[in-house]
C-alpha cells in the first residue's frame, strides 16, 4: 500500500519534513501487520543520531523544522537499525543525474515503523533510499511517500492500493 502526501512534495517546493503523516503512522502502527516505511529529511536529527551505534535506543525530535507553519517536530524513540551515507540510485529519473546524494542516513525502528532520516532533501520517491538502509520497500505493508504523482514512476508497477492523504501544506 502506498500513502502519498502531495502537500509535502519537495519537487513542488515543500519542505519535505511535515510530520502529520508520521504522527498518524505512529498512532496507528499497532493496527498494521507488517512494516511501515517513511522518510523525513532532517539534518539536525541526523547530526545528533549518526554518532550513535546500531542497536542503541535513542530519542530525538524529527521534522517540523523546515515546515514549521503546518506542523511541529515530533519526538520519537526507536532503535538505530542503520547508519550510513552516500548516494542512492535515481530510480525515477527525477533529475538528470543517475545518482542522488543523500548525505548521512539513519534508520530508526519504532515497533513496525521504519523511519529513514536523511541529512539532505531527496527529489522524488526513490525505492533505492530504503534499500540503502537494508529495507526492500516492496516487501513492506505500507510505504508512506512525500509525492503527488512521482510514485507512479517508481512504485505503481507493484502497488495494490494507493491512498492520497489530505495533509496540510
pLDDT at position 123:
86
- Grid coordinates 495533509 are at which residue? 167
89-131, pLDDT tens digit by residue? Answer: 999 999 899 999 999 999 999 999 999 999 999 988 999 999 9
* Residue 8 CB burial class (10 angstroms; 0-12, 13-18, ≥19): buried
Structure-model confidence comparison of residues 45 and 169, the more confident one: 45
In DSSP terms, 85 is beta-bridged to: 104
33-81, pLDDT tens digit by residue? Answer: 999 999 999 999 999 999 999 999 999 999 999 878 888 999 999 999 9
In DSSP terms, 163 is beta-bridged to: 3
Strands (E), the chain: 2-4, 36-41, 57-62, 74-89, 99-110, 113-118, 142-145, 162-164
Amino acid at each position: 500500500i502506498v500513502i502519498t502526501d502531495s502537500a509535502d512534495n519537495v519537487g513542488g517546493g515543500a519542505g519535505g519534513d511535515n510530520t502529520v503523516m508520521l504522527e498518524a503512522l505512529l498512532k496507528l502502527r499497532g493496527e498494521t501487520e507488517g512494516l511501515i516505511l517513511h522518510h523525513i529529511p532532517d539534518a539536525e536529527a541526523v547530526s545528533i543520531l549518526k554518532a550513535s551505534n546500531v542497536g542503541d535506543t535513542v530519542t530525538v525530535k524529527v521534522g517540523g523544522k523546515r515546515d514549521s507553519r503546518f506542523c511541529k517536530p515530533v519526538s520519537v524513540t526507536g532503535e538505530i537499525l542503520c547508519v550510513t551515507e552516500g548516494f542512492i540510485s535515481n530510480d525515477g529519473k527525477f533529475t538528470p543525474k543517475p545518482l542522488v546524494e543523500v548525505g548521512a542516513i539513519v534508520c530508526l525502528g519504532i515497533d513496525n515503523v521504519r523511519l529513514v532520516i536523511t541529512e539532505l532533501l531527496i527529489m522524488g520517491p526513490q525505492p533505492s533510499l530504503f534499500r540503502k538502509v537494508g529495507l526492500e520497500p516492496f516487501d513492506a505493508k505500507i510505504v508512506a511517500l512525500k509525492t503527488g504523482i512521482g510514485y507512479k514512476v517508481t512504485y505503481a508497477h507493484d502497488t495494490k492500493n494507493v491512498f492520497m492523504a489530505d495533509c496540510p501544506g
